[in-house]
Homo-oligomer: A and B are copies of this chain.
Amino acid sequence: MINNQFKKGELYSFITGKASTAIARRLQKNFKEAGIEITIEQWSVLYHLWKEDGQSQQQLCEATFRDKPSITRLVDNLEKSKLVKRVASKNDRRSNLIFLTKEGKNLEPKTMEVANRTLNEALEGVTNGQIEIAKEVLQMVYDNLK
C-alpha cells in the first residue's frame, strides 16, 4: 500500500497530466509553425497508419487508446481533409479499412521530424536514465488502469 507520498499539488499535477498537456500544446504549435494543418488527435491516427496502412477503425481504437465514436469522427475529419479514405473490408462487411491517400503519405517525414524535435525540446536536460525510469512508471500506470 502506498501512502502520503503525494503532497498536495503534486497529486494534482500527476493526475491531471500537466506535462502531457504541455507536450501536446507544444506539438500543436510546432505543427502550425511548420505549416502542418492537422490536430494532435489526427496525428495520433496518422502515426499508426504510417506504421501500418489499411487498419480497421477497431484496430485504430486500440492503437490510439480511443473509443469507437472518437475514431469515427477523427476518420471523418481526416477524410474531409483528404488524408485518408475508408474502404469497406471484403472479408467482413461490418468493417472499414482506413488507407492513407498520397497526400496523407506525403505528410509523414515532415510531421515525424516535428514530433521528434518536440520531444527533444520537452526532454532537454533530462538524462537517459531518468527517461527510462519515467517510461517504466508511465507504462506501469497504464497497465494498472487500462
Interface residues as binary, A1-30 with B (CB distance below 8 Å gives 1, 0 otherwise): 111011011111111111111111111000
Write out the residue numbers on chain B whose beta carbons fall within 8 Å of the beta carbon of A92.
none
Known: A27-B15, A134-B134, A137-B130. A145 touches B22 (CB 8 A): yes
Interface residues as binary, A113-134 with B (CB distance below 8 Å gives 1, 0 otherwise): 0011011111111101011011
The distance in angstroms between the C-alpha atoms of A146 and B16, with both chains bound, is 15
- Closest B residue by C-beta to A120: B2
B116:A144 contact, CB within 8 angstroms: no
Q: DSSP majority for the A interface?
A: helix
A141:B65 contact, CB within 8 angstroms: no
Interface membership of A51, Cβ < 8 A: yes
The distance in angstroms between the C-alpha atoms of A125 and B2, with both chains bound, is 9
| Chain A: interface residue total (CB-CB under 8 A) | 59
The distance in angstroms between the C-alpha atoms of A40 and B134, with both chains bound, is 24
The distance in angstroms between the C-alpha atoms of A138 and B118, with both chains bound, is 15
Binding site for B on A (CB under 8 A): 1-3, 5-6, 8-27, 40, 44, 47-48, 51, 64-65, 115-116, 118-126, 128, 130-131, 133-142, 144-146
Q: Which 8 A-B pairs have the closest CB atoms?
A: A17-B20, A134-B137, A22-B145, A19-B138, A19-B141, A133-B133, A19-B142, A122-B141
